[in-house]
Structure 1
Amino acid sequence: MIERKDLFSIPFYNKTQYTGSHLGMRYRIEKHVEDDSTTLLATWWPGPYCFTATPDEQKKTNTFEYSNEGIGQACNWLNQVYTENADLFKTVPI
């Protein structure tokens, strides 16, 4: 499982994005600004390749409130995605 404590806090995302992996699932969390709205954008895709080397059609995203609570929600969502797609991730070379 992805641990909330491993995903840092909001000041981190003001500077850069976070990428990680969990047993074949790759993910990225980043600050997303559009118009006057700031959100967290969480993206997952099957590994083994990095974000830029993976075709966009293989990536799935979700947005969350730009807050520490939003980071917790993104963590829960990523864990849910892993659970629901475990068979897919088991086929990924790690």
Structure 2
Amino acid sequence: MLDQAAEHGPGEPGWDGPVVLAHHRAIGQPLVAAPDFEIKPPEVQPFGDVPENGRAALTPLAGPAAPGIAVAPDGLRLRRLLDTAQIILGAGVGKS
């Protein structure tokens, strides 16, 4: 089971600081959960070559699932990161 919450916006402490979103204003969270899901390596996989265009990471869980998080300055760059996450995660399905 995954229970995750994120609160952003005025009134939330530090939401626009360098540790949370900085100048990024778009956020997305891909998730793959399937019985035949297998991802290697099992550690966190950061991606997004140019930090100004956004950053993302996949964080595999103990079971057959991997959530991720992506932040970007706008929706277009966020979509590109989420597409990359889909490619990475898709490579882990049905590979047993």
Shared fold (TM-score, shorter chain, > 0.5): no
Q: TM-score, normalised by structure 1?
A: 0.38
